[in-house]
């Protein structure tokens, strides 16, 4: 049993739990350099993130002036993933308050999982390296199921694999994809204010906008109050 109003919490990863932009950007830049194209600075890398490695590679090459056919994109994405897996946590860190808050939520009885458009293998590798995996029941990546966010099936199939009900579940993320996936799965969404998005998080349509990760437990209580008032 949990003392929280929500017993299952599904988190996005990059831009929500961890700041990985520099490491992701370095791996993409290595591929760009090998292809004779200009490299990105960190600000541009952040602006291209949020939909997984394959989309980021496509966006980075498009920004450098090269449109990729599917076969070339797949090959370059595999190269990017290889470089990224070699050293995914050189500069990557959890956002402030993440480990402590996850520990508190676990202590309060919440079941937690990550639903990310990063491939599952690298996601698990990073979570283990940052000592966050011990708080989580499961991880679903872009390659775990036949669908990925914003498709709600990414969330519902993850919950089914966990053996968790979505009746008292909530999604926490930094993008419109997280909001669409959560609402499509018929669960409320907490949007964070610090992630990788060019769109203002306040415009996402999430039920709650979180300014500090440490405030999540109280935000869940407020979210429950909102739902009871409807």
Structural domain ending residue among the three candidates 66, 86, 106: 86
Is residue 72 scored above 90 in pLDDT?
yes
Examine the domain organization and report whether 177 and 99 are in the same domain.
yes
Kindly state whether residue 35 falls inside one of the protein's structural domains: yes
Question: How many C-beta atoms lie closer than 10 Å to residue 3's C-beta?
Answer: 10
Q: Is residue 1 part of a domain?
A: no
- Residue whose entry in the numeric block shows the structure tokens 């036949």: 146
Could you tell me if 191 and 126 lie in one domain? yes
Percent of the chain, pLDDT > 90? 87
Residue 215 lies in a domain: yes
pLDDT for 100 beyond 60: yes
User: Which run of H or E residues covers position 208?
Assistant: strand 208-210
Q: Is the pLDDT of residue 1 over 60?
A: no
Residue 227 in this model has a pLDDT that exceeds 90? no
In this structure, is residue 47 part of a structural domain? yes
> Given this model, what pLDDT does residue 133 score?
98
What pLDDT digit, counting tens, does each position of 159-218 carry? 999 999 999 999 999 999 999 999 999 999 999 999 998 889 999 999 999 999 999 999
Which residues pair with residue 113 across a beta bridge?
10, 138
Whether 219 and 153 share a structural domain: yes
CATH of the domain at 26: 1.10.150.240
> At residue 50, does pLDDT exceed 60?
yes
Domain endpoint, select from 34, 64, 86 = 86
Q: How far apart are CA 213 and CA 95, in angstroms?
A: 8
- Confidence at 51, pLDDT banded by 50, 70, 90: confident
Specify whether the CB–CB gap between 98 and 9 falls below 8 A: no
Predicted local confidence at residue 59, as pLDDT = 95
Pair 33, 138: CB distance under 8 Å? no
Boundary-marking domain end, from 59, 86, 113: 86
Q: Tell me, what's the pLDDT at 2?
A: 63
Query: Are 103 and 211 contained in the same domain?
Result: yes
pLDDT band at 155 (very low <50, low <70, confident <90, very high): very high
Residues 26 and 106 in one domain: no
Q: Are 148 and 66 contained in the same domain?
A: no
Separation of alpha carbons 89 and 84, rounded Å: 9
Do 46 and 153 lie in one domain? The reply is no
Residues with a catalytic annotation lie at 12
Measured between alpha carbons, how far is residue 65 from residues 52, 69, 141 in Å? 20, 13, 29
* Domain annotation covers residue 3: no
Q: What percentage of the chain carries pLDDT values higher than 70? A: 99
Confidence at residue 206, expressed as pLDDT on a 0 to 100 scale: 97
| Residues 82 and 121 reside in one and the same domain | no
pTM value is 0.93
The pLDDT score that the predictor gives to residue 230 is 63
Asked if 14 and 61 sit in the same domain, the reply is: no
Residues 15 and 25 grouped into a single domain:
no
Asked if 126 and 46 sit in the same domain, the reply is: no
**Mean pLDDT across the stretch 5-23?**
96
Do 127 and 170 have their domain in common? yes
Here the CATH number for the domain that contains residue 108 is 3.40.50.1000
Distance CA 152, CA 155 (A): 5
Within a domain: 27? yes
The total number of structural domains in the chain stands at: 2
**68: containing domain:** 21-86
Interval 59-65 mean pLDDT: 96
Mean pLDDT of all residues belonging to the chain: 94
pLDDT value at 65 more than 80: yes
Please count the helices (runs of H) and the strands (runs of E) in the chain: 9, 8
């Amino acid at each position: 049993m949990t003392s929280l109003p929500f017993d299952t919490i599904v988190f996005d990863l990059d831009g929500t739990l961890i700041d990985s932009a520099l490491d992701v950007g370095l791996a993409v830049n290595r591929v760009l350099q090998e292809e004779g194209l200009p490299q990105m600075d960190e600000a541009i890398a952040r602006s291209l993130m949020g939909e997984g490695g394959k989309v980021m590679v496509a966006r980075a090459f498009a920004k450098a002036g090269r449109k990729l056919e599917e076969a070339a994109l797949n090959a370059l994405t595999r190269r990017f993933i290889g470089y990224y897996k070699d050293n995914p946590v050189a500069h990557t860190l959890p956002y402030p308050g993440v480990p402590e808050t996850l520990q508190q939520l676990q202590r309060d009885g919440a079941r937690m999982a990550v639903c990310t458009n990063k491939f599952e293998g690298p996601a698990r590798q990073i979570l283990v390296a940052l000592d966050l995996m011990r708080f989580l029941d499961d991880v679903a990546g872009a390659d775990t199921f036949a669908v990925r966010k914003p498709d709600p099936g990414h969330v519902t199939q993850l919950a089914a694999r966990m053996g968790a009900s979505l009746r008292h579940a909530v999604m926490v993320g930094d993008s419109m994809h997280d909001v669409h996936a959560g609402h499509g799965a018929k669960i409320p969404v907490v949007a964070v204010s610090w992630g990788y998005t060019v769109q203002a998080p306040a415009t996402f349509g999430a039920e709650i906008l979180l300014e500090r990760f440490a405030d999540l437990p109280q935000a869940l209580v407020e979210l429950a109050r909102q739902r009871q008032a409807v």
